Amino acid sequence: MGKQVGFYYNQNYCIGCQACETACKNKNKLDVGIRWRVVEHSETTVNGRQVDRYFTHACMHCEKPACVATCPVKAYSKRAKDGIVVQDYEKCVGCGACVNACPYKAVSFSRKKLKASKCNLCLDYLQQGEAPACVRGCPLQVLKAGTISAMDKEGAVKECKGFLQTGSGPSIRFAPEKR
């Protein structure tokens, strides 16, 4: 495989504005209720103070994607060139197996269209040398896209508080946690 592409997220500075989520929704013309990128909020205590934490996520373009393994009609595939997990929307029969299999809840099901869909890392933008809509939409630039190997070389880490590691090899990296 070529160089795996994925997301980098600096959770230390995210303010939970959901601009990334909105940019994704607008670019992909998603129906109401369909979300390919989600911003989640949680609260924690740091040094006796309540602190808001935010986590933004979309498809993790995993090394071992459950959606690819589970889909009975082979509507998903992992590109050898860059590791992006893509969907052939026309092949989808709406069985929901991928929705249930994804450990990151990154596959949405449209009750209106009776089909599943997910983030494709704005493949059309990437092919033009541009960043995905969610990355472009973030006013604080806490979200980036690029090769996982480059992120690793720059000191990105594989885990952050609240992130579920499932063994599927998610293609996401984080800024080191600020104390």
* Per-residue pLDDT tens digits for 128-165: 999 999 999 999 999 999 999 999 999 999 988 778 78
pLDDT digits (tens, 9 = 90+) for 62-100: 999 999 999 999 999 999 999 999 999 999 999 999 999
| Chain position carrying tokens 């630039």 | 141
Q: Token pair of 37, please?
A: 């990128």
β-strands 172-174, 143-147 pairing: unpaired
Mean pLDDT of 102-119: 96
Q: Residue 20: is its pLDDT beyond 60?
A: yes
Please give the pLDDT value at position 2: 67
Q: Which CATH class is domain 5-174?
A: alpha beta
CA angle 100, 8, 2 (to 5 degrees): 80
What was the pLDDT predicted at 91? Answer: 98
Please state, for a pLDDT cut of 90, what percent of the chain lies above it. Answer: 85
The domain spans of the chain are: 5-174
- Adjacent-strand bridge partners of 55: 40
Q: Give the pTM.
A: 0.92
Question: In percent, how much of the chain has pLDDT > 70?
Answer: 98
Task: Produce one character per residue of 147-174: b if its CB has 16 or more CB atoms within 10 Å, e if not.
Answer: bbeebeeeebeeebeeeeeeebbbbbbb
